[in-house]
Structure 1
Amino acid sequence: MSEVRDAIARAGRLVVKVGSSALTTAGSGLDVARLDALVDAIADRVARGTQIVLVSSGAIGAGLAPLSLGARPKDLATQQAAASVGQLALAHAYAESFGRYSLTVGQVLLTANDVVHRAHYRNAQRTFSRLLALGAVPVVNENDTVATEEIRFGDNDRLAALVAHLIGAEGLVLLSDVDALYDGDPRSGSTRKITEVTSESDLEGLSVGRSSSGLGTGGMMSKVAAARTAAAAGIPVLIAAAEQARSALGDADVGTAFTHASTRMPARRFWLGYAAGSRGRLWLDDGAVTAVVRHRRSLLAAGIIGVDGDFQAGDVVDLVSPEQVVVARGVVAFDVTELPELIGRSSHELPPEQRREVVHADDLVPLRRRR
């Protein structure tokens, strides 16, 4: 067994995410038998001493049949209406199913603001900590009833990665209707199953698509992105099929495992790199990219070649390479209106009051190393 699989099998705290397609059907709504099977596997792991937070999609799918909707709606207002009905059905189904094992369920609905803003982030941490200490199983979903296009997480895979870091999870298990990561469409019959992802090179050239069920917003693409996010932050990740939940939460000898970074990323740096919303972009020259990404140095005005966005000092911005790749994120020390006259100039050329880092190294997180 690989180190990642062993870590997940032994973890004392896990986040488990299940997708809409594994719990619902367009015509019938919630599939109670599938939901019960998932709960059976989770309850078995909880009985062995593991604390589990369940991130569950399916609220919108669960609301389709009661509202006589034949397919997932495309407009936001109808999605919100379906979620409003479906969240009640989903929460009730989980409460009843976990009740078979005398386990209490706590529903936690999140929007992007709850992890983007530091105060909300800490409040969410405290809520999860107390629920777990009281022996409850938190069931998390994006709050689709109030989310707007501007603040949505986009998919619950990313939400699960953020929650995993937020609660200090020792592993993340992403369950869907596909049993592993493949190097192409597994329905074609000529693809290769990838059981271990140990580096970025293992993902090069892969063709992974979005959900084909019409019920979810994710798919393998979002799962790989979420797995990379969590693994980079030091969290072991396993992607498997929902029908393999018992094995995934048992010896973890199924699916695709993602090797994680050797050290856990501090909460502030993780928030800065993956949770906080960006208000603009700073375009860097090659020398600045090397200094920021490879040497972890502060960003100075001399290394900036362009500015874009509407931000103020203290906002989070993306740092972009000449190849238009976002290589880092950081807290900017100047307003957007101040920077045009500073960029490209050495510190000794600037007035004394402006001789400071544009983004200090302590407030900067590299996202991708240059080759």
Structure 2
Amino acid sequence: MNPLNHAKRIVIKLGTGVLTSGIGNLNTARIATLCGQVNALRQRGIEVILVSSGAVGLGMGKLQLDKRPKDLATLQACAAVGQSILINNWQQGFDPHGLTVAQILLTREDLRARHRHNAVFNTVERLLANGAVPIVNENDTVSAAEIKFGDNDTLSALVASVTNADMLFILSNIPGLIDMQGTGQVVATVPAITPEIEAMAQGTKHTTSVGGMISKLSAAKIAHRAGCGVIIGSGSDPELFNKLLKGESVGTYFVPSQEPVKSHKRWIAIQDDTHGSITVDAGAVEALVKRGKSLLAAGIINCEGPFESGDVVQIHAPDAAIIAHGIVNYDMERIQAKLPELEDNVVIHRDHLVLL
């Protein structure tokens, strides 16, 4: 089965290496080709959201820097200079097709806060309904953490999850996941991301890039949990989407989860900055994982925080493995006090719990 033929909404992430030819030099011919591909997909009824890297690299070129800066202020300056160049070139690329682009700059906080998470979804929905092409990037100019540790692979997976996309394409200069320890060939299909698959990942050495295959596999995990298929492939292939529509194997296809997290729970699943943790006993683990039950106070061994009622916390098994995220109904002090009325009370309801 060709997953693209069944997709209604896709996210395409484009790395700096795809969009530029050296520091500060935008590959306008490739952008024009990509815009043509996006237009062709839209004519087939497929909604497209782009996640575009390149702002920092373009800013480096404009500011005549030959190496990626290490200090935060200069990185922010590069992003500020480069972002306007990037979005203007995207608009020029879509002009021949009569399409309007919409710039969306996000920080991790925009997806951590529930009301802002919902606002992102609503904005993208309205843009797509009005025929615009949303182009997302990290707001590196104001977000210190995203510049130092972030990558657009992860951002693209979060965007795919938030917007309920069917497919995520992570396109860079590499043709897919390469079996470096075995055949040396691109792995065509990955049913599940196992330790053996993770061992194939290698970091990047590109001057303007962040992440590499390690970040791409991390992104694939996030998308998998949301029921979104992922293809890691080459952004330099002008026929990539045509090949996929014809049923050809291109890049590495990561099969989505057959039991994806429900839409209303995805905000819980993508939280990376929880307020604390709850460790539960073996009986509670079985109830949560195998029987789909809510977490009762009686199954709690320990709490770490502090956290308040309504916060998202991690749920740990006795061996410290993280098995779930959930929204707690009580604050940490009340749970730790082991109040008699809590013993049979629901601390985290199943409707507010996501298995990881």
TM-score normalized by the length of structure 2: 0.90
Residue 26 of structure 1 contacts residue 71 of structure 1 at CA under 8 Å; is this kept in 2?
no
Q: Does 1:32 align with 2:38?
A: no
Larger deviation, residues 95-104 vs 250-259: 250-259
Q: Which residue of 1 aligns with 2:354?
A: 365
> Does structure 1 retain, via aligned residues, the 8 Å contact 2:297–2:343?
no
Q: 2: distance between equivalents of 1:205 and 1:53?
A: 27
Which residue number corresponds to residue 206 of structure 2?
A: 213
Q: 1:164 aligns with which of 160, 164, 182?
A: 160
CA contact 2:124–2:134 (8 Å) conserved in 1:
yes
1:61 to 2:57 alignment: yes
Contact 1:296 1:366 in 2 (8 A): no
User: Is residue 270 of structure 1 aligned with residue 270 of structure 2?
Assistant: no
Letter in 1 for 2:213: M
Task: State the SS of the aligned residue for 1:290.
Answer: helix
Q: Does 1:48 align with 2:44?
A: yes
Q: How does 1:175-254 map to 2 (within 5 A)?
A: 175-184=171-180, 191-201=184-194, 203-204=196-197, 206-244=199-237, 246-248=239-241, 250-251=243-244, 253-254=249-250
- Render the CA deviation track for 1:40-66: whole Å, top value 9, x for unaligned: 322232233322110111111111111
CA contact (8 A) 2:50 2:133 kept: yes
Q: Distance in 1 between the 2:306 and 2:102 partners?
A: 39
Structure 2, unmatched stretches of 5+, are none
Q: In the alignment, which residue of structure 2 is the partner of 1:146?
A: 142
- Match of 1:52, SS state, is strand
Alignment of 1:282-297 (within 5 A): 282-297=278-293
Q: Decide which moves more: 114-123 or 33-42.
A: 33-42
Letter in 2 for 1:262: Q
1 CA distance for matches of 2:146 and 2:309? 22
Instruction: Note if contact 2:12-2:170 (Cα within 8 Å) is conserved in structure 1.
Output: yes
Other-structure match for 1:93: 89
Aligned partner letter, 2:341: P
Displacement of 1:150 after TM fit? 7.8
Q: Distance in 1 between matches of 2:31 and 2:149?
A: 24
Deviation at 1:106, TM superposition (A): 0.9
Equivalent-residue separation in structure 1 for 2:328 and 2:100 (angstroms): 44
Letter in 2 for 1:365: V
Given candidates 300, 310, 315, the residue that maps to 1:319 is 315
Partner in structure 2 of residue 340 of structure 1: 336
One-letter identity of the residue aligned with 1:50: I
Q: CA deviation at 1:295?
A: 2.0
Match of 2:112 in 1: 116
Query: C-alpha deviations, 1:205-258, integer Å up to 9, x for none?
Result: 623122221322221111112122212221122111111253246426300111
2:130 and 2:149 map into 1 onto residues whose CA distance is: 28
Match of 1:352 among 324, 341, 349: 341
1:209/1:190 CA distance change after superposition, 3 Å: same
Task: Quickly say closer, same or farther: Cα 1:355–1:264, change in 2 above 3 A.
Answer: closer
Give the Cα–Cα distance (whole angstroms) in 2 for the partners of residues 56 and 103 of structure 1: 17
**Equivalent pairs, count:** 353
Contact (CA 8 Å) 1:244, 1:254: kept in 2 or not? no
Q: Gapped runs of 5+ residues in structure 1?
A: 343-349
The structural deviation recorded for 1:264 is 4.7
RMSD, matched Cα: 2.5
Whole-Å separation in 2 of the counterparts to 1:285 and 1:54? 44
SS of the aligned residue for 1:182 comes to coil
| Alpha-carbon distance change, 268 to 63 in structure 1, aligned in 2, over 3 angstroms | same
Structure 1 Cα separation of the partners of residues 291 and 147 of structure 2: 33
